[in-house]
Every structure is written in C-alpha cells, then in structure tokens.
Amino acid sequence: RSPYMVAAMSSMSAEEEDEARERRLAEIEFVRSAYGEDEAWVVDEKLTIYRRLLVSSSDGNVIHVLLSLTMPDGYPIDEEAILVIDARISDDAVGASSSSCTAKNMRKMVMDSLPSLIEACRLSALEYVGSESIFAVLSRADEWISVDFVDIVESSNHINTDDANEVEIISKCDNGLVLGRRLIHSHHIIAQSKRKAVVELADQYNLGGYSKIGWPGVIVIEGEESDCMAYVDEIRSMRWQHLAVRGEEQLAVRDQDELEQTRVLPNKMQELGDDMSCIAERCKDAGLEELFLTSMKIYSKKESVSSDASNQKANTESSSYSYGALCHVDHMRDGKGYRKWLRKASVAAGCKLLVKASDSNVKRPLVIVSILGEESDVKRVLKRWRTSRVDVDSAGKPCLERMMTVMTEGKLSLLQHKTVDIDSLDQEDQLIVSDQTLCDILQVIGGTEWLNEIESLMHLR
C-alpha cells in the first residue's frame, strides 16, 4: 500500500472507511452488470477496473486499447483520493490485416493519441472528486473513441492536404489575401480563464465573431485566413476536454478594403450566453446558417468533404433515408439500456437512429426518437419496438413500451439537399439539447412537417 493511500485512510474514521468500501464495491458491481466479460473486468486485489476500448478505422483495422481505473483507499469519499487512470494498447491490438502498412499507421496514431485519452479521463474524474466517478470516466472514454479520436484522424488527414488547399486559395488572388471563417466546437466553455482567453486571442489576431459558453462551447471567428489559422493553433494548445474545428470557409479578396467589407460578423469577439438558439440566430442573420449547422455535424453537400469518394459515400447514405418516423417517448427508466436496444434494433434493420432529449425540463425531459431508412425497414423497427421488452418498470423488471407515440411518419424529401451525419449526432454526450437545437435538427431531417409536430408537442408541455 502506498504512503499516499495510507495518508488518505488515516484521515478517515472507521465508519467513513466502511462507507467508502461499500461504495467502491457498488461501483464494481455496476461495471460487472453493465458490461460483458470481454468488455470490462475487475481485479479485486488491486481494486482496478479494466475496460477494453475498440478503435476502428474505415478500412476494417481495429486497435484494442486497455483502459485501467484504480480506486485508491478513501475513494470516493476523500476528495484527495482520485482515480488512478492509465491506458495502453492491448496485446491483441490489431485485427486481421495487422501486417498492412495502413494497420501499422493506425496503431502508431492510436499510440500517439493515448495521452489525449488519459488526460480526458483524468479531467472527467477531477470533475467528480468526492463522489463516484467510474461511470463518468467510462462514458468519457467512450466519447473519446467516437468523437475525439475521429477528429484526430480527420485532422491528420487534413494536414496532408492543407498546403495544397492553401496554394489553391492563394492562386485565386494575386496578393494572396483571403477572408477566413472557422466554427470551433468544444465539450464546454466554463472556466473564466478560458472565456477570457477566447476573447483576448481574437482581439490579438484582429478576429471577430461569437463565443457561446456553457455545454457545449461554440466559437465562430472571422478575419484574415492566416490569423484564423494562428488562432486555432494557439487555442488548441490549451487544455480542453474536447475541441475541434467543425466547419470553415475561405473567400479570396482583392485587398484589405474588400476583406473588411466582406465581413458579416462583429469586428470584435462577442461572448454569448449558454443558449444555443442565440448563436444560431446570429449566424443565420449573418447568412452563415450552414457554417453554424456544422456544429451539429450537419453539412451542406456543396461544402467540401475530405475527398470525392467521401462525397459519393455521403450522398449515397443520405439518399437512402427515403422514409422516416418521428416518435415521442414519455420516459425511459433505464435510459442507457433502452437507447442501446434501439440502436441495435435499428442497425439490424439497416436503419439510422437519432435519440434526442430537450433540456427545458431537467426532471422530465422531452425524449424524441427518429428512425430513418427504407419504408419497410422503418416499419419493421417500429413493430419490433412495440412488441419487445425495451425498458424496466418501477420494480426494475423488463417491460413493454406502452407510452411511445409515432407523431408522424412518411417519405422524406429535404434530406436530398443536406448531408447529415446521423451517427455523429446520435452520441450519448450529445443526447441533451436545447429546444431550438432540437427543432433545427428535426427540420433538417423532416422539413416543415417534422418541425410543426415538435413545436406542437413543446407547446402542450
């Protein structure tokens, strides 16, 4: 036992030690019940939880990452007893094509990114000092796999093309002057130091725009392209739980006067509140609605994607959403298990699923489920949903869903104009959204009909 652990124990009474031990055992039982034996396991002697994370690439390579969470004596009561977190690539690290060059590059990328995973999990643990943090850290690890690492891969792919893109932009204008815009998405912007830095850095680089604080954080900047690039580089060097550039625009201009006249955002950075609808409205008024929608990973097809092949794939996927069902669920007692069942049922039927909850009522959020695909496939999911035990009752026993309502279903037409990354939108960390964001997403998917349905439901609350 380490001196640190002894010190933590010595400051606690026997009653507190017993309570801490019971709460640690409760978290261990949670892990054993929530995950399969191959997904997570516990070494009781060390009070260490191991979680296997699967990092996959588009070409089928899979890296196994082993995340370890060790609970020190005094955890979770003692505020100084913080989870000891580490991660490594497992011995069974790569899938069938492990000898390929692509697989080796993938392994190296994961290896280089492990400090980012560990840091993200440690920051999550620090947010819950003095209380149970296992679930929060494991959820953050899953989020890192599905969001952060995807952004790391995308950033890596873009590095190889940035120079060529810059040459192409500059070639459009003799003097190389370009007006640039960026939309930057972060897990949150709360700390006063971060809020101050966001505004002061923009002033330093002569950039204007908006900074939306809270969860999530959204920064929109506008100014000379080279200044936008420098701003992004500098802000990335700070410690963030998650931060990524979701959207960007470049416009070639003749001179500095034209650059200033082309600006549509405030010349000085303005900090907005935590209401997403506020920055959404400001961007829409400025004619930058499509740039704002990238904050939710909704992209216009005319915007550049990583390659022609990516565009073709996106077009094929979006065109397959020919039919949709918009559903309201009164409540989910076992929310995580319920949503997991919905996702598995949708995948099995070849459909896409989107689950969102409005944050306007924390005690009783408005839960909306969208199912997209071919008509026969969507109807198959709905039928299975009504006849399966998807939730638990007040006694914790599996039960049928009796309070799900299909608000509207039918053919979709609006999606042919948009490329919507449903998989990225349907993430646990993006489950709770504002009323306005929920309306914006559903309008993009189902047009005016879906928007009218959700607005009518909100009005009845």
> With contact defined as beta carbons under 8 Å apart, do 53 and 64 qualify?
yes
Residue owning tokens 């191991």: 50
* DSSP character string of 282-346: HHHHTT-HHHHHGGGTEEETTS--S-HHHHHHHHHHHHT--EEEEEEES--TTHHHHHHHHHHHH
Whether the per-residue pLDDT at 310 is higher than 60: the answer is no
Statement: residue 104 has pLDDT above 60 = yes
Looking at residue 243, what DSSP letter applies? E
Q: Which residues pair with 10 in a beta bridge?
A: none
Burial 294-326 (b: 16+ CB within 10 A, else e): bbbbbbeeeeeeeeeeebeebeebbebbbbbbb
Average pLDDT of the chain is 80
CA nearest neighbour of 453 among 352, 356, 368, 330: 368
Both structure tokens of 441? 């997403």
Could you check whether the bond before residue 3 is cis, i.e. omega within 30 degrees of 0? no
Tokens standing for 384?
């299975």
Q: Backbone phi, then psi, for 174, in 5-degree steps?
A: -60, -40
* Distance, C-alpha 306 to centroid of its chain: 20
What's the rounded mean pLDDT across residues 90-96? 55
Mean pLDDT (whole number) for 119-139 = 86
Cα-Cα end-to-end distance for the chain: 55
pLDDT at 70 over 60: yes
pLDDT tens per residue across span 366-420: 899 999 988 888 998 898 898 788 888 887 788 888 889 999 999 886 554 455 6
Q: What is the residue type of 423?
A: D
Question: Beta strands of 337-382 (E only): which ranges?
Answer: 352-358, 366-373
8 Å CB contact between 274 and 217: no
Report the SS3 class of residue 43.
Answer: strand
Percent of the chain residues topping a pLDDT of 70: 79
- The 8 Å CB, 24+ separation contacts for 258-261 are 259/177, 259/179, 259/224
d(CA 335, CA 339): 6
- Residues recorded for the chain: 461
- Give the pLDDT confidence of 37-64 residue by residue, as tens digits: 889 999 876 789 999 998 887 667 788 9
Residue 267 pLDDT:
94
Q: Which helix (H) or strand (E) holds 228?
A: helix 225-236
Higher pLDDT, 44 or 444: 444
∠ Cα 106 113 250 (to 5°): 85
Query: Encoding tokens for residue 291?
Result: 């740039």
Q: What is the pLDDT of residues 198-235, one digit of tens each?
A: 999 999 999 999 999 988 899 999 999 989 998 998 88
Could you report the per-residue pLDDT of 238-260, keeping only the tens digit for each? 878 778 888 899 999 888 899 99
Q: Which residue has the tokens 């929608």?
A: 293
